[in-house]
Structure 1
Amino acid sequence: MSLSNGKIQPTINNGGDANKPFKIFVGYDPREDLAFEVCQHSILKRSSIPVEIIPIKQSDLRKEGLYWRERGQFESTEFSFSRFLTPRLANYEGWAMFVDCDFLYLADIKELRDLIDDKYAIMCVQHDYTPKETTKMDGAVQTVYPRKNWSSMVLYNCGHPKNQILTPETVNTQTGAFLHRFQWLKDDEIGLVPFVWNFLEGHNKVVEADPTTFPKAIHYTRGGPWFEAWKNCEFADLWLSEMEKYLKEAKKKIEN
């Protein structure tokens, strides 16, 4: 990520091909700036393909007239609804990904991109998840609803006819149920991604004898080590290690 005229610019790891980077839109919340940076770092350091990482910043979207929705009492982050602008932000072309900032990638994003199947409008991990906690992160209300966490990491077929409905008007006016449950789609238009790509800390489990259960992307959905209350959560050591690498590299760039 770079700064130009005070605005965040996309970070591109072009891998020698600047023309076709895989677009990854990451939900951004000022309270979780460090989480965003670490998530971005974890993707870039392991990617063997060109990727373009673009933070979805609500303040920028409001300035551009793409987002005007008032924040509801159950929105735990600034990107609770703006995430659904992903196809619009990708100009309704090709495939793009949205992911919450509270992810840590442990594998090459190419492996995830290679799962893409053009017959689907979207693809995601289809969790059966009911949180036990009543609060998460820094005291935000933990809401329970069908298909919870499905929308936290989504591969969007941005050019799919069904996704044309995701205009700013729709995203700003439709209900949470309509958007987070993908009610503009039929079930057979939603492709399945293995759970290890959205491995829910505190919910999903690693089976030592089964490599297919080892997480490729950890989702600290209850709250991550960047919050004091969650500094000892499961896999905290992996996130903290990534943070140290990010901070070390950031310091080196400043010094140079």
Structure 2
Amino acid sequence: MTHPIPVFIGYDPRERAATNVLIDSLYQHSSRPLAITPIVTPQLEAQGLYRRERDPRQSTAFSFTRFLVPHLMGYRGWAIFMDCDMLCRGDIARLWELRDERYAVMCVQHEHIPNETTKFLGEVQSPYPKKNWSSLMLMNTARCTALSVDYVNQASGLELHRFHWLAGDHEIGALPADWNHLVDVQPPPTASAEDGGPTLLHWTLGGPWFREQRTMGGALAAEWFGARCDSMALHD
């Protein structure tokens, strides 16, 4: 029996349009059933799972809630986490097939040192080692038991995002770069996913769903709007 691939998406109410388009892009390209769960902070708060006060340095509602994925999975099996400010251009099942039991977490290991001090909506841009590694994670949740509800609610942002809850970096596997292309941070892709371009686009600095950033990514912004139009047409 083929079980649905569990996909958790960080949700921020300011980025509802981004979330909806990402979900549709995942469904449209996937060759396997998906079980997609947006991580909505008020729902976690209502269940007593999330009790943190908002940190002035967190730029999204899901900055810390992403680390509750292993708990939500009952610390059993693998799961995918991704930020909502992404667009999938290919089959997410291909990412799922990269699971490697040697690792607790797998991610694209960027060397992203921001030049800017602010990003979307004036949010603070915080530089730190392993920046953007946690924006797309394949999580082997049985090996992520250190991410208890209490730990996620008490640990610092740097402890969480720098993976201090693991025994060491040897527990972090590397994913191919095409699974987390940073729009307007990395050189723009010259090919579609079918022709070897990135499969997952990530507007980490803010995307075209924000009025002030309608053209963020140039041709990639136009691609996002095209995906949104396709999604709306399918739902009519």
TM-score, length-normalised on structure 2?
0.94
Alpha-carbon displacement from aligned partner over 1:79-118 (angstroms, at most 9, x marks no partner): 0000000101111111001100000000100110111111
**SS in structure 2 at match of 1:141:** coil
Alignment of 1:76-115 (within 5 A): 76-115=59-98
**SS in structure 1 at match of 2:121:** coil
Instruction: Note the aligned Cα RMSD (angstroms).
Output: 1.7
1:168 deviates by 0.8
In structure 2, relative to structure 1, the CA distance for the partners of 1:207 and 1:21 (3 Å cut) is closer
Residues 206 and 215 in structure 1, CA contact (< 8 A), matched pair in contact too: no
Alpha-carbon distance between aligned partners in 2 of 1:184 and 1:140, rounded to the nearest angstrom:
26
**SS in structure 2 at match of 1:239:** helix
Alpha-carbon distance between aligned partners in 2 of 1:220 and 1:207, rounded to the nearest angstrom:
13
Q: Which residue of 1 aligns with 2:226?
A: 241
Q: Which residue of 2 aligns with 1:37?
A: 20
Alpha-carbon distance between aligned partners in 1 of 2:178 and 2:47, rounded to the nearest angstrom:
35
Count how many residue pairs are aligned between Structure 1 and Structure 2: 232
**SS in structure 2 at match of 1:165:** coil
Alpha-carbon distance between aligned partners in 2 of 1:151 and 1:171, rounded to the nearest angstrom:
14
Residues 181 and 198 in structure 2, CA contact (< 8 A), matched pair in contact too: yes
Deviation >6 Å, runs of 4+ = none
Identity of aligned residues (%): 44
Residues 189 and 198 in structure 2, CA contact (< 8 A), matched pair in contact too: no
Q: Which residue of 2 aligns with 1:226?
A: 209
Q: Work out whether 1:217 is the aligned partner of 2:200.
A: yes
Q: Work out whether 1:129 is the aligned partner of 2:112.
A: yes
Alpha-carbon displacement from aligned partner over 1:142-189 (angstroms, at most 9, x marks no partner): 1111110000010000112xx111111000000111100001221111
Alpha-carbon distance between aligned partners in 2 of 1:227 and 1:206, rounded to the nearest angstrom:
20
In structure 2, relative to structure 1, the CA distance for the partners of 1:249 and 1:213 (3 Å cut) is closer
Q: Work out whether 1:196 is the aligned partner of 2:181.
A: no
Q: Which residue of 1 aligns with 2:158?
A: 177
Q: Which residue of 1 aligns with 2:187?
A: 205
Alpha-carbon displacement from aligned partner over 1:116-158 (angstroms, at most 9, x marks no partner): 1111000000000012222111111111111100000100001
Unaligned runs of 5+ in 2: none
Alignment of 1:157-176 (within 5 A): 157-160=140-143, 163-176=144-157
Alpha-carbon distance between aligned partners in 2 of 1:132 and 1:225, rounded to the nearest angstrom:
21
Alpha-carbon distance between aligned partners in 1 of 2:188 and 2:127, rounded to the nearest angstrom:
24
Residues 182 and 201 in structure 2, CA contact (< 8 A), matched pair in contact too: yes
**SS in structure 1 at match of 2:102:** coil
Alpha-carbon distance between aligned partners in 2 of 1:52 and 1:130, rounded to the nearest angstrom:
34
Unaligned runs of 5+ in 1: 1-16
1:27 deviates by 0.4
TM-score, length-normalised on structure 1?
0.87
**SS in structure 2 at match of 1:164:** coil
1:205 deviates by 2.4
Residues 206 and 213 in structure 1, CA contact (< 8 A), matched pair in contact too: no
Write the letter of the residue equivalent to 1:168: V
1:213 deviates by 6.0
Alpha-carbon distance between aligned partners in 1 of 2:228 and 2:123, rounded to the nearest angstrom:
23
Write the letter of the residue equivalent to 1:130: I
**SS in structure 2 at match of 1:127:** coil
